[in-house]
Amino acid sequence: QMRPDGTAIDENPAPDAEEYFATALFFASHRWGNGKGIYDYRKEALGLLDAMKNRKAIAGAVNANKRKTTLHSLFNTEHKMVRFTPDADNFSKNGDHTDPSYHLPAFYELWAAWGPEADRAFWADAAKVSRDFFVKTTHPKTGLAPDYANFDGTPKAASWDAGTANFRYDAFRTA
């Protein structure tokens, strides 16, 4: 996340971006094949998926202010859902939670077919969990999702903005 002048607001990843990157790399692999180095699209996609799910926690300084924190994997493996953020500081303030717009079950189905063999069952489960999650988190009359949600689907009000429990900016992207 950047300010208009290009300085970083938050240097941590937005998990939905990595989801799109991994899927785009698989599509590139299937369309153009795989070359060497960074042009081995399949290898790059597999490495990214492995890191998104299996990366061990990393402690250190982040952001220009060198704030110290611990970053976890981008997926909560217990709930089989994408996290809002991997940042443990955010967990302590807001609890580990998700963003409904980050759930991309069609991608997870592709990863179950194309991803690292050891994780294929996880990705198949994640696709089902995400589809079930949409039913839980969307409003029964409007079908609209909140910006943020707990893993059980209930709306999540962030410490910095209670409005995140409502359909707003992030929720517009919920597929």
C-alpha 163/C-alpha 9 separation (Å) is: 20
The CATH number of residue 57's host domain is 1.50.10.10
The answer to whether residue 63 scores a pLDDT higher than 80 is: no
Q: Which residues pair with 98 in a beta bridge?
A: 149
Could you tell me which residues come within 8 angstroms of residue 132 by beta carbon, excluding any fewer than 6 positions away?
none
Q: For position 96, what pLDDT does the model report? A: 96
Give the model confidence (pLDDT) of 69-102 as tens digits. 899 999 999 999 999 999 998 898 999 999 999 9
Mean pLDDT of 108-122: 98
Residue ranges making up the domain that contains 119? 13-171
Instruction: Report the domain count for the chain.
Output: 1
Does residue 70 sit within a domain?
Answer: yes
Percent above pLDDT 90 for the chain: 81
Q: What gap in Å lies between CA 122 and CA 104, rounded to an integer?
A: 14
* Distance of alpha carbon 79 from alpha carbon 4, whole angstroms: 36
The reply to whether 4 falls in a domain is no
Backbone angle region of 142, left / alpha / beta, with phi > 0 → left and psi within -120 to 50 → alpha: alpha
